[in-house]
Amino acid sequence: MTDEDADRAEAIARVREQLSFLPGGVPGSLWSYNKDTLAEAIVDGEKRRSPAGVPLVKLGDRWYYNDPGDLLTFLKEYPGD
Protein backbone atom coordinates (compact mmCIF):
# COMPACT_ATOMS: atom_id res chain seq x y z
CA MET A 1 0.00 0.00 0.00
CA THR A 2 1.43 3.38 -0.97
CA ASP A 3 1.44 6.37 1.34
CA GLU A 4 -1.24 7.94 -0.85
CA ASP A 5 -3.45 4.84 -0.51
CA ALA A 6 -2.91 4.80 3.25
CA ASP A 7 -3.81 8.51 3.52
CA ARG A 8 -6.99 7.93 1.46
CA ALA A 9 -8.00 4.93 3.61
CA GLU A 10 -7.42 6.98 6.77
CA ALA A 11 -9.49 9.88 5.39
CA ILE A 12 -12.34 7.52 4.47
CA ALA A 13 -12.30 6.01 7.98
CA ARG A 14 -12.42 9.51 9.56
CA VAL A 15 -15.35 10.59 7.38
CA ARG A 16 -17.20 7.30 8.01
CA GLU A 17 -16.87 7.93 11.76
CA GLN A 18 -18.15 11.52 11.40
CA LEU A 19 -21.20 10.26 9.50
CA SER A 20 -22.22 8.39 12.65
CA PHE A 21 -22.35 11.66 14.60
CA LEU A 22 -24.58 13.69 12.27
CA PRO A 23 -27.32 15.14 14.52
CA GLY A 24 -30.09 14.69 11.96
CA GLY A 25 -28.58 11.71 10.20
CA VAL A 26 -27.62 11.61 6.53
CA PRO A 27 -29.74 13.98 4.42
CA GLY A 28 -32.53 12.32 2.45
CA SER A 29 -30.94 13.32 -0.84
CA LEU A 30 -27.98 11.05 0.05
CA TRP A 31 -29.92 7.99 1.25
CA SER A 32 -29.00 6.10 -1.93
CA TYR A 33 -25.45 5.82 -0.55
CA ASN A 34 -24.47 3.36 2.15
CA LYS A 35 -22.06 4.70 4.77
CA ASP A 36 -18.95 3.24 3.09
CA THR A 37 -19.70 4.49 -0.42
CA LEU A 38 -20.74 7.89 0.93
CA ALA A 39 -17.46 8.23 2.84
CA GLU A 40 -15.53 7.31 -0.32
CA ALA A 41 -17.56 9.76 -2.42
CA ILE A 42 -16.84 12.56 0.06
CA VAL A 43 -13.10 11.85 0.10
CA ASP A 44 -12.81 11.37 -3.68
CA GLY A 45 -15.42 13.89 -4.83
CA GLU A 46 -14.87 17.20 -6.59
CA LYS A 47 -14.14 19.91 -4.06
CA ARG A 48 -14.19 23.70 -3.96
CA ARG A 49 -14.87 26.52 -1.50
CA SER A 50 -17.91 28.75 -1.21
CA PRO A 51 -17.39 32.52 -1.60
CA ALA A 52 -17.22 32.63 2.23
CA GLY A 53 -14.40 30.06 2.20
CA VAL A 54 -16.43 27.09 3.45
CA PRO A 55 -15.29 23.73 1.99
CA LEU A 56 -17.79 22.05 -0.34
CA VAL A 57 -17.96 18.64 -2.03
CA LYS A 58 -19.99 17.65 -5.08
CA LEU A 59 -22.05 14.48 -4.65
CA GLY A 60 -24.10 13.59 -7.69
CA ASP A 61 -25.18 16.89 -9.20
CA ARG A 62 -25.38 18.83 -5.91
CA TRP A 63 -22.88 20.62 -3.69
CA TYR A 64 -22.76 19.95 0.06
CA TYR A 65 -20.95 21.56 2.97
CA ASN A 66 -17.82 19.52 3.65
CA ASP A 67 -16.45 20.51 7.04
CA PRO A 68 -16.69 17.40 9.23
CA GLY A 69 -15.62 19.52 12.20
CA ASP A 70 -18.94 21.42 11.98
CA LEU A 71 -21.58 18.75 12.45
CA LEU A 72 -24.40 21.31 12.24
CA THR A 73 -23.63 22.02 8.57
CA PHE A 74 -21.66 18.94 7.46
CA LEU A 75 -23.41 17.41 4.43
CA LYS A 76 -26.20 19.97 4.37
CA GLU A 77 -26.96 20.94 0.79
CA TYR A 78 -25.23 24.15 -0.26
CA PRO A 79 -27.88 26.63 -1.43
CA GLY A 80 -25.60 28.32 -3.99
CA ASP A 81 -25.03 27.18 -7.55
At 44-58, the pLDDT tens digits run 999 999 999 999 999
Q: What string of H, E and C letters represents the secondary structure of the chain?
A: CCHHHHHHHHHHHHHHHHHCCCCCCCCHHHCCCCHHHHHHHHHHCCEEECCCCCEEEEECCEEEECCCCCCCCCCCECCCC
Q: What are the domain boundaries of the chain?
A: 3-65
pLDDT tens-digit profile of 18-37?
999 888 889 999 999 999 99
